[in-house]
Amino acid sequence: MEETQNILRDSFGRDHSYLRISLTELCNLRCTYCMPAEGIALSPKSHIMTYEEVYNIAKIFVKHGVSKIRLTGGEPLVRKDADVIIEKLASLPVELSLTTNAVLVDRFIEIFKTNGIRTINVSLDSLDPDKFLQITRRNNFDKVYKNIMLLVNEGFKVKLNVVLMKGFNDNEIIDFIELTKDLPIVIRFIEFMPFSGNQWNKEKLVSLQYILETVDKSYDESTIMRLTDAPNDTSKNYQIENYKGSFAIISSITNPFCDSCNRIRLTANGQLKNCLFSTTESDLLTQYRAGENIEPIIQKTIQAKYKMRGGMDTNKKLEDASLHAQNRSMITIGG
């Protein structure tokens, strides 16, 4: 019998080797761009993947070419069996990493080390404790910052994810870059993206062009170095000469990187999303629990992937709030 084609290759020839798995819809922060102010309706606990289901479904993806898995949430570390899931997934032949808000990472340092997690992405949108409280609706800045320093001191590769919003934290761009002078970290400036309930509009957008213009005004042009981006990288990477760390710009809106996308997402309730912006999902968990082969569903979902931003390939579509409302809130997708 002829071998089945790569089920993780879409109709545009993109191979999807990077799986992001959300472990939970719960979070110990309430970031405004991620969760609507009124909260969200959570999936019943029985609809959330068990650790065995996370592992067994992940194994199927690895069998077909996934070589990198990132754990997300919600906040993945609030899940009571997060350590068990980390240990199970670490047994697979993949690069394992994690995105967190860092509130709880001090409890997991040895677990990360034991299971080969070396890269940690931390969401931090302001270096001002008052702004941090405003955006997260929680007074945890000191703890988060202390835990970031702990990760650095323990030798982890730390990437700080900064969602920029005009009139809120766009005046902190240089402050964040200055952290890289003495710290071997990567600052990643992320354009504000539209999701259900986060009140997105283009007026809040801080573009790649604006960020670069801000950097040009603050540093001598000869000291701003353009770094080589890794294959399938979502970011454009830079470094200030003689600084220990670097900074990057993820421009999903103004300069998308869809042509080289290799990412797919598995939500905590077992839905496969072929794009962060996609308004459709495929239910893997129900079929898996029924004992069905989920590989055809995976293949069909990958084949249905649009060329660009879940079909929002024009500014008119991007600015259509009705399309955003058809997607989930970010907290239930997984970053």
Is residue 76 domain-resident?
A: yes
CATH number assigned to the domain comprising residue 91: 3.20.20.70
Out of 163-177, 246-260, 309-323, which region has the weakest mean confidence (pLDDT)? Answer: 309-323
Which tokens belong to 186?
A: 């990567």
3 within some domain = no
- Residue 46: inside a domain: yes
Give a yes or no: residue 106 inside a domain.
Answer: yes
Query: Number of structural domains, the chain?
Result: 1
Asked if residue 114 belongs to a domain, the reply is yes
* Residue located via tokens 């993947």: 49
Domain span holding position 290: 18-333
CA 196 to centroid of chain Cα atoms: 17
Q: Say what the pLDDT of residue 217 is.
A: 97
Report if residue 5 sits inside a domain: no
> What are 229-271's pLDDT values in tens digits?
988 888 999 999 999 999 999 987 776 768 889 999 999 999 9
Per-residue pLDDT tens digits for 199-231: 556 778 899 999 999 999 999 999 999 999 988
- What pLDDT score does 140 carry? 93
Residues 6+ apart with CB under 8 A from 143: 102, 103
In a domain? residue 298: yes
CA dihedral 317, 274, 261, 135 (to 10 degrees): 70
Question: With the C-alpha atoms ordered 125, 177, 233, 98, is the resulting torsion angle positive or negative?
Answer: negative
Residue 6 lies in a domain: no
Q: Choose the weakest-confidence range: 42-46, 128-132, 172-176, 180-184.
A: 42-46
- Cα 53 from Cα 115, distance rounded (Å): 19
